[in-house]
Amino acid sequence: MHIPEYSQIVSPLYLVTLKKNDFHWGPEQQQAFAQIKQEIAHAVVIGPVRTGPDVKNVLYSAARKHGLSWSLWQKALGETRGQPLGF
């Protein structure tokens, strides 16, 4: 399963669980909790690697101000949507 920007989404939850911080559940934590539940419900399932002459591999990449991202997809002949292999 892959959830884009997982670490950023759950950051408010992680911060309140650190020993050096007092536990305080506020609006920011509630928003993060609601968002991660929604993301889990709609997460992308990563598929198995397929081989053969009718299988096409596509690598997407992006450079942003705050980092890089990539995803590898595979699509077989006759499929309308590709299957993600990694992010």
- Full residue range of the structural domain in which residue 82 is found: 55-86
- Tens-place pLDDT, residues 34-49: 999 999 998 877 888 8
Task: Based on the fold, state whether residues 34 and 60 are members of the same structural domain.
Answer: no
Cβ–Cβ < 8 Å for 81, 44: no
- From the list 7, 75, 77, 15, the residue with the least C-alpha distance to 85 is 75
Say whether pLDDT at 65 is over 80.
no
Confidence of residue 13 (pLDDT cuts 50, 70, 90): very high
How far apart are the C-alpha atoms of 18 and 12, rounded to whole Å?
11
Say whether pLDDT at 31 is over 90.
yes
Domain count, the chain: 2
Reduced to 3 states (helix: H, G, I; strand: E, B; else coil), residue 34 is helix
Task: Based on the fold, state whether residues 37 and 63 are members of the same structural domain.
Answer: no
Confidence of residue 12 (pLDDT cuts 50, 70, 90): very high
Handedness of CA 48, 61, 14, 11 (dihedral sign): negative
Question: Is residue 48 included in any domain, yes or no?
Answer: no
